Amino acid sequence: MNFAVLGSDEPRGVSLPPLPLLAGLLAAIALSIAAVWLIGGSGIAALAYAGGLLVLAIGGLLVGRVRAEATREAVALPDWTVTAAAMDNSRRAMAITDRANRLTCANETYRQWFGEPDPPSEIAFSDTANIAIAEAARAAWREGRGVADDLSQSEGERRFRLEVTRAGRGENFLVWRFAEILVEQGYDGIDERISGSLGAILSRAGVEVALVAGDGIIMSHSPGLAERAEGQDDSSLAGKEFVKLLRTDDRDRIYFAREGQQGSPQTLVHIPLDAGDSPDEGVETRPSVMLLIDSSVGFGGGWEASGKASVPQLEALLSALPLGLALTDRDGRFLFANKAFLRAVEREQVGLPQFPSDLVVREDKGPFADTVRRFARGATASGDIAVRLANDREEPVSIGLAGVRGLGDAAVLLSLSDSTEEKRLRRQVAQATKMQAVGQLAGGVAHDFNNVLTAIIGYCDLMLLRHTPGDSDYDDIQQIRANSNRAASLTRQLLAFSRQQTLRPVVLQLPDVVSEVSQLLKRLMGDKVEFSIRHDRELGPVRADPQQLEQVIINLAVNARDAMHGHGARAGSDWKGRLTLATRRVSARDVRKLGIDIMPADDYTVLIVQDTGGGIPEQVINKIFEPFFTTKEQGKGTGLGLSTVYGIVKQSNGFIFADNVTGSDGRVAGARFTVYLPVHKGEVPAPARKDPVEDERASEWSGGASLLLVEDEDMVRAVAERALTRAGYSVTTASDGEEGLAIIANGKGEFDLVVSDVVMPVKDGPAMARDIRKVKPNLPILFMSGYAEEHLRSEIDIDNMHFIPKPFSVQQINAKVAEVLGEQVREGA
């Protein structure tokens, strides 16, 4: 028991005065006697006076002694060891504190649930729970009792109910009682299987099964159990106590209570289903599967009472159950494991190791081995332990343990749920969620950065109009502009990753795109890399932006080239690499066979880029599509190549996967990127041809129109105003949508075109445009934005709307305004 005692065990009460004080007191008494003798002149009077003082002194000592004994009796502390023993309860955590909030006593369950023996007010509960605990304590001091329901700890999902009562002779202590609130769970249809066909099969084989709740109540059972227990095969035992169906004799053999010793003995196997937080936690807190194996009925030849003879039949039974189950002997060696257990530990091909501890990481080997031996050699009990498997270090699993007896060499039953599929789906969802979140962040950063680049590029263009080649500042301005354009390309890559760039998709054949870039790729690969292309027949057309698909192929090829060069540098100077581009036709039936849950079953045209480099390390394969992640040396690469590929493929409604290719010797022989693009099911339109005359007419528009410029960024508004004014336009500016709408509604001018940003405070561009159309239904709108045009058009359903992406130069915005105004003139004509 874990307890603490305040104060000492032997209170001293009243002690004698110190020696100097006693000597001084005797001297004072002697002087007072001498004074009485001299003053009275009589020795008899002095003697009588001395006797009186002696009587008073003895009386004072006796009174002090009595008071000391009373004080000793009053302050004597209770024997806390007896209190702690009385508080022993595996289902409740109990503690006692005094008025100073000091922990004076706590039972073992309190230590197991909450760790170090701290007062209840200092346990790491949630903020809401801490408030409820403090209110319960105040109510207990005030009224004698306080309660708090549904208390949750700051870490973990366990919940508790608290009762606090005031106690003690002087009511100077609080007794705290914590009870865990258990949540009922489902168990993957086990109850339906037990009560269904599986239970019927087991009943015919002489094995009865029951699913029993933590409080001993039957939740489900096999059909034959009702007949054995109550004599009626159509009755239900749900809601009844399992232990009341059985009885034992003086040799601890188990029988059905209805049959008594006239029936056949039963072997009881207890399998806990739901793991608790500690292997020492009581079995009553979790549901279990109870197996009753008849000793007189055999599996195809007779079940013998011998424990060793029964093990093969037990193994056959465990193999039929969906839970992962294994048996070990008293020394902790594996005897048997069913397929579900091997699948859960991912050892279906290699089989079991010698000891269960060989399945876990090095840090968990010792505790796991000790726990298995304790259950094998101690009293029959059950529990669980949280460990990390050697093949999955990130997510701990809970392995249930139950000591078994009378089954030959078998001593411990291990149980483990097969969560392979669940973990795979969880990882896929987590990866997709992370990529979506990073994409949103990257898109927001790129959008804001585009505003800054628009101002920088615009001012550079305006300065270049005042400088000619040969000026001292001309080259510097050109350098600023060149680096701004380089930064703009980075923002385009971020927008590509976040699927917010402007795409111009057309229906095309993938081999045509590959052939367009094949000559460029041969030059990029160099002499050390052999380049080959393979195409399937009857490939379906896809709908994508051909320029962006070329970017995808180039990025993947260059990434493969760099990987092969790095691998070849380590292999030696005579290395040779090989890059293969292949296209494949994949049907919906093939997709179903692949079992990729995140990809719909449909027809796809597939692009495969495969190299002979060193492959992708397993620890980074889930990170390679993240922006700014790179395995190259510092200063080489931005880490945006593969993230750009990912964004373009996803924006084209496709899917991309990366894996390693193994050679005939089982070693990694390179990396492979597979791009799935859905086959276009509609008609293939004829390629659109631009009319050069129309473009020329649009560019011939000259200034003189009246424009309303709405932009919340001061620097972008200023550079756009200067650029349009220099082009001969009359420009009126507004800093947000409300101001722009007010200018139109109040009739402060007649405008030929509204040039507006999309995202603005107070009222954004689309909302302002809709309100303007109520006043001026034919007024054209030109939106400026760093987001994709397709994304905006899908959210802004406005006629006569035009778009120019940020960042733009002075020449680009002038040309776009002229193009829009030219269209209005032609439509009016």
Pairing outcome for strands 288-294 and 266-272: antiparallel
Give 201-254 pLDDT, tens digit per residue. 888 777 889 988 877 888 888 888 888 888 776 677 887 888 888 988 766 778
**Secondary structure (H, E, C), 435-504:** HHHHHHHHHHHHHHHHHHHHHHHHHHHHHHHHCCCCCCCHHHHHHHHHHHHHHHHHHHHHHHHCCCCCCC
Number of H helices, E strands in the chain: 23, 29
Predicted confidence band of residue 15 (pLDDT cuts 50, 70, 90): very low
The strand order across the sheet containing 173-181 reads 2-3, 103-106, 92-98, 173-181, 159-167, 145-152
Band of the pLDDT at 389, cuts 50, 70, 90? confident
Quick check: pTM over 0.95? no
Q: Tell me the backbone φ, ψ of residue 30, rounded to 5 degrees.
A: -65, -40
| pLDDT of residue 647 exceeding 60 | yes
Give the tens place of pLDDT for each residue, 292-344.
887 654 443 333 334 444 556 677 777 778 788 898 888 888 888 888 888 88
Average pLDDT on 30-54 reads 68
Q: 827 vs 475, 697, 773, 800, 820, CA distance in Å?
A: 44, 13, 18, 11, 11
Q: What is the mean pLDDT of residues 153-171?
A: 80
The pLDDT of residue 306 is 41
The strand pair at 730-734 and 706-710 is best described as parallel
194 close to 274: Cβ distance less than 8 angstroms? no
